[in-house]
Amino acid sequence: MKSALQHAGGTLKVVFLDRDGVINRDSPDYIKSWREFEFISGSLSAMARLTRAGFTLMLISNQSAVGRELISRPGLARLHYRLGIAAAQAGGRIRDIFFCPHLPDSHCHCRKPATGMLQQASAKYGLDLSKSVFVGDSVTDIRCAQAAGCDKSILVLTGNGSIASRDLTRQAPGPDHVAADLAAAAEWILDPSPSSAA
């Protein structure tokens, strides 16, 4: 039986994923190379499960390390290539990666919580964002999902998620669901019943 979050009609069933703190461990020094990239336990298998269930995965990530000149665009592309290979080897597929290279004070339209990256994805693939799911670990992820009109926003407690959960409790509205990690988020996406709640 299809998940209630899946939909028909030829439109892609999209799960947007933040990267740092959701798929891999975040760092205050930024992730500048593949050597520094460490998968969070269960994230690869979670992406594989979602892919097998027919969901299209896309990354939506603020990467100000580029604007800070800590990593070049080609360097980031190489890192993301390795990420895509690792996901594929585990049985998943990342369809596309959208990133904002700008600094926090740049006032760009793409840095979350702005919705520019989601709008880029929507324009490129003809997506109906109101039928998409967004998984992130920060307030900016949740606010981006809500502002773009995503159907569901899920906060994971890895990365900055514990701090974000506390902040979102004081700054309603909160996410549609809170999950321990990406593996638990995938479980809920596939079976959004009360018994699967974190």
In this predicted model, what pLDDT tens digit does every residue of 26-66 receive, in sequence order?
Answer: 999 999 999 999 999 999 999 999 999 999 999 999 999 99
Half-sphere CA count of 4, side-chain side, radius 13 A: 7
Omega before 113 cis (within 30°)? Answer: yes
Which residues touch 10 (CB under 8 Å, ≥6 apart)? none
Whether the CB-CB separation of 80 and 74 falls below 8 Å is answered with: no
Domains held by the chain: number: 1
Is residue 187 a part of any domain in this protein?
A: yes
Whether the CB-CB separation of 17 and 57 falls below 8 Å is answered with: yes
d(CA 13, CA 53): 10
Domain enclosing residue 110, as ranges: 14-196
Q: Which of 186, 152, 148, 168 is nearest to 22 (CA)?
A: 186
Is residue 86 a part of any domain in this protein?
A: yes
d(CA 177, CA 128): 21
CA distances from 190 to 20, 52, 66, 99 (A): 23, 11, 35, 26
d(CA 79, CA 36): 10
Mean pLDDT score of the chain: 93
Q: Which residues pair with 24 in a beta bridge?
A: 20, 39
**Token pair for residue 48?**
């594989």
What pLDDT score does 79 carry? 98
Q: Which residues pair with 59 in a beta bridge?
A: 17, 97
Is residue 6 a part of any domain in this protein?
A: no
In this predicted model, what pLDDT tens digit does every residue of 144-176 receive, in sequence order?
Answer: 999 999 999 999 999 999 999 999 988 889 999
Is residue 1 a part of any domain in this protein?
A: no
DSSP annotation of 56 reads E
Share of residues in the chain with pLDDT > 90 (%): 88
Catalytic residues: 18, 20
Is residue 5 a part of any domain in this protein?
A: no
